[in-house]
Amino acid sequence: MRLATIDHGGRPTLVVATSDDEVAVLPERFADVGSISRVSAEVGVAAANEALAAGERLPTADLTWLPPVLRPGKIVCVALNNSANPRRIISGPATPAMFIKPSSALVGHGRPVRLRRSDGRVHPEPELAVVIGAGGGDIAESDALSHVFGYTILNDITAPDLRAEDTFHYQAVHPSPGGDEVRYVESWVSYPARYKGSDTFGPLGPWVVTTDEIADPHALRITCTHDGRLVTDDTTANLRFSVSEVIAFASRYMTLEAGDVIGMGTALRRSPQGGAAVQNLDLNRLGGEVAVQIDGIGTLANPVQWR
């Protein structure tokens, strides 16, 4: 089942794909995929079946897309989670490293990524995203996939020059062993709100595909194109930490809630036809349209605009 949230006469409305060309509108109480995942997958699927039988039809080509989950409680993103990363890591954790992207950063398929020239370099990061169904804390790895409502696409837009700006090289205060004195330890710390969380830095969608249609979330081709040129051509088989490992680890620290979104980390492998790395795609210089495609889910395309 492919579900999406659209703007329907000014109201967020959940729809289900009846074919590649048409969707059916769900009953009014479902404004977005989050509202389904917060009830139960069963109730949601029943409502979607009701819509498939008798809901209003709309042509897919005419839709105004919104983020499938309008206001996730949190968007947890996993950093450096591709098998191409470890050889670049001098030191780092043996577990998933995570940051939070605010829900205000989300935009739907087709909506512009809006940049300022002062943002410096800005590149796309194509990612598989997990939408949580039943929430929980301390979820066992063996049970983790039962907490997934579905899968979608996140373009984790990143501004590395803002990252550099928001990195401190400083003397961290550490306690001295014993007593009330402190010692200073030279450290680096970086803060991601701007470089990962600015408005429009979170294209999400277009569809959430329910788990019954994704036999294996680690066998999906994922590509990124810029103005039609293939740049990234990777597979979710190259994820370093699996969906189950990330859900188990994240939920050990942060209770996951229905509708939470997890960005699984950037697909990095360059197209075998040669060409640029995703970090070469400076959207602030190039403009144009960036698209992320995942087999079985769809294509999330967003034009660049300046503000």
Binds its own copies by CB under 8 A, chosen from 46, 56, 83, 104 = 104
Closest alpha carbon to 63 in 23, 18, 28 = 23
The yes or no reply on residue 245 touching its own copies (CB under 8 A) is: no
Amino acid identity for residue 194 in this structure: R
The yes or no reply on residue 100 touching its own copies (CB under 8 A) is: yes
Q: 50 vs 161, which CB is nearer to its own copies?
A: 161
Cβ pair 248, 144 in contact under 8 A: yes
Binds its own copies by CB under 8 A, chosen from 37, 103, 211, 293 = 103
Taking contact as CB under 8 A, which single stretch among the options 10-18, 38-46, 162-170, 296-304 is the one that binds its own copies?
162-170
The burial class, CB within 10 Å (0-12 / 13-18 / 19+), for 94 is exposed
Can you tell me the distance from the alpha carbon of 222 to that of 235, in angstroms, rounded to the nearest whole number?
Answer: 5
Binds its own copies by CB under 8 A, chosen from 54, 61, 89, 215 = 89
Binds its own copies by CB under 8 A, chosen from 22, 56, 143, 199 = 199
Q: Shortest approach of its own copies to residue 29 CB, angstroms?
A: 19
Side by side, which strands form the sheet with 113-115? 113-115, 298-306, 289-294, 221-226, 229-235
The yes or no reply on residue 197 touching its own copies (CB under 8 A) is: yes
Q: Shortest approach of its own copies to residue 269 CB, angstroms?
A: 13
* Element at 162 (helix H, strand E): helix 160-165
Binds its own copies by CB under 8 A, chosen from 186, 228, 272, 273 = 186
Tell me the two tokens of residue 4.
């999406």
The yes or no reply on residue 92 touching its own copies (CB under 8 A) is: yes
Can you tell me the distance from the alpha carbon of 260 to that of 133, in angstroms, rounded to the nearest whole number?
Answer: 8
Cα dist from 104 to 55, 230, 298, whole Å: 30, 29, 23
Binds its own copies by CB under 8 A, chosen from 2, 101, 111, 226 = 101
Cβ pair 207, 152 in contact under 8 A: yes
Taking contact as CB under 8 A, which single stretch among the options 2-10, 55-63, 185-193, 212-220 is the one that binds its own copies?
185-193
The yes or no reply on residue 64 touching its own copies (CB under 8 A) is: no
Which 3-state string (H, E, C) describes 225-277? Answer: EECCEEEEEEEHHHECCCHHHHHHHHHHHCCECCCCEEECCCCCCECCCCCCC
Query: How many residues line the site for its own copies (CB under 8 A)?
Result: 66
The yes or no reply on residue 46 touching its own copies (CB under 8 A) is: no
Q: 79 vs 134, which CB is nearer to its own copies?
A: 79
The yes or no reply on residue 102 touching its own copies (CB under 8 A) is: yes
Binds its own copies by CB under 8 A, chosen from 64, 83, 190, 305 = 190
Helix (H, G, I), strand (E, B) or coil at 252: helix
Closest alpha carbon to 67 in 5, 111, 112 = 5
Residues of this chain that interact with its own copies (CB under 8 A) are 71, 73-74, 76, 79-80, 85, 88-93, 95, 97-105, 121, 137, 160, 163, 165-175, 180, 182, 184, 186-194, 197-199, 250, 253-257, 274-277, 279-280, 282
